[in-house]
Amino acid sequence: MRYLEVNEDGTLVELNELQLGPEKVLIIVDEEDKKMWLWKGSNCPIRKKFIGSRALSDIRKKEYGFAYVPQSCDQDDETAEFVIMLQKIDKTDIVPDAVLNRAQQIIDRQSRINVFEEGAEQETVPPSTPSPITDLEEEDSEGLKDRPAQVPASELPTHLAKMGAPGNRPMPTILSALESESIEIKTPEEALQAKETPSAEPVKQAVVKSDTMLEQSFKVLKDLGAPKGFYRDLIIIGNKVYTETYTGGFEELDEPPEGIFFSSSHVPRMICENGFVRAIEFLKPEEGAELSEEDEAIAQDIEDLLGMFEIEVG
């Protein structure tokens, strides 16, 4: 294991042991399982988080290679895989009990699905005896970003390795999250009952969740600001288009017209955080505009993004 603390200027400090803290941003490298974590404290500024992301990308590219799987998590919202890593180094006492309990439930659920044997059948529960779901599991199914355990391709059977990215389910974007909330799959009986007794409750719940995600995206944009010498002309969040007002707010534009749009006068900037594409901005540069050193410190080249998807398949 290797532990690195990220400083405000992007430099890294090697640590002898894992020490979490609300002001810290840490990079944790598991050289045995080929995984890298970006852990972010609850009180660290947004720019420091992106500096840490840039640092993780650099060290992955220069020292470890694309076989290492990068992940990120926030304090008190650690994933099940992060907890498994803590168990390996006997450091589970540095995260809250709620995180441990939630992670253990996810680990138990995943352990009931065997993907390591050719033709293995998944364990099923008879329809007549549905398994009880606790309040914690309900919260987990709605809010957790955990994925099935990341498994090296070399350890998977051939029929799974050929699938291209075994064990690595794509993280949801804000677009997919917003769209999924508006889709509700029902049986014919449920559809007939809903038609007879319509209820607005699912719609209200979807609107609340969508608004929350939009607010989080707006907060990230406000904290980052536009690069020096540029201003935001258009912003895409989910399937909506916004513009920045003179007061620093964000105003939704009317429904965009049909068509294919191309611009050679804008600089695109995509902002990703915790597995979500928070926004895609179209920046209008002023004459002679160049990125400042501070903006360069947190910006990553698009090649780094493409490199994230270079997964070795055995």
Confidence check: pLDDT of 200 > 80: no
Confidence band, pLDDT 50/70/90 cuts, at residue 246: confident
pLDDT in tens, 128-145: 444 444 444 444 444 444
Confidence check: pLDDT of 127 > 80: no
| All residues at 6 or more sequence positions from 266 whose CB lies less than 8 Å from its CB, including other chains | 233, 234, 282, 283, 284
Cβ-in-10-Å burial (0-12, 13-18, 19+) of 49 comes to buried
Calculate Rg over the CA atoms of the chain. Answer: 22
Confidence check: pLDDT of 282 > 80: yes
pTM: 0.60
Residue 14 CB neighbour total at 10 angstroms? 8
Residue 175 carries which DSSP code?
A: H
Question: In the prediction, which pLDDT does 5 show?
Answer: 93
Question: In the prediction, which pLDDT does 117 show?
Answer: 46
Element (H, E) at 137: helix 135-143
Rounded average pLDDT over 174-191: 50
**Structure-block tokens of residue 33:** 């399982």
Alpha carbons 137 and 193: distance in angstroms, whole number: 27
**Structure-block tokens of residue 158:** 């051939």
Which position has the higher pLDDT, 242 or 203?
242
pLDDT in tens, 256-270: 877 888 888 898 999
**Structure-block tokens of residue 305:** 């993004």
Instruction: Report yes or no: 72 and 54 within 8 Å, Cβ to Cβ.
Output: no
**Structure-block tokens of residue 250:** 């964000």
pLDDT in tens, 82-112: 999 999 999 988 889 999 998 888 888 877 7
Measured at the CA of 129, the angle between CA 206 and CA 147, to 5 degrees, comes to: 45
DSSP SS3 for 240: strand
**Structure-block tokens of residue 199:** 């209820």
Across the chain, what does the average pLDDT equal? 75
Total residue length of the chain: 314
Alpha carbons 226 and 296: distance in angstroms, whole number: 12
**Structure-block tokens of residue 196:** 């007879």
Question: In the prediction, which pLDDT does 239 show?
Answer: 85
Alpha carbons 256 and 62: distance in angstroms, whole number: 42
Alpha carbons 206 and 181: distance in angstroms, whole number: 5
> Domains of the chain by range and CATH?
2-169 (3.40.20.10), 170-314 (no CATH)
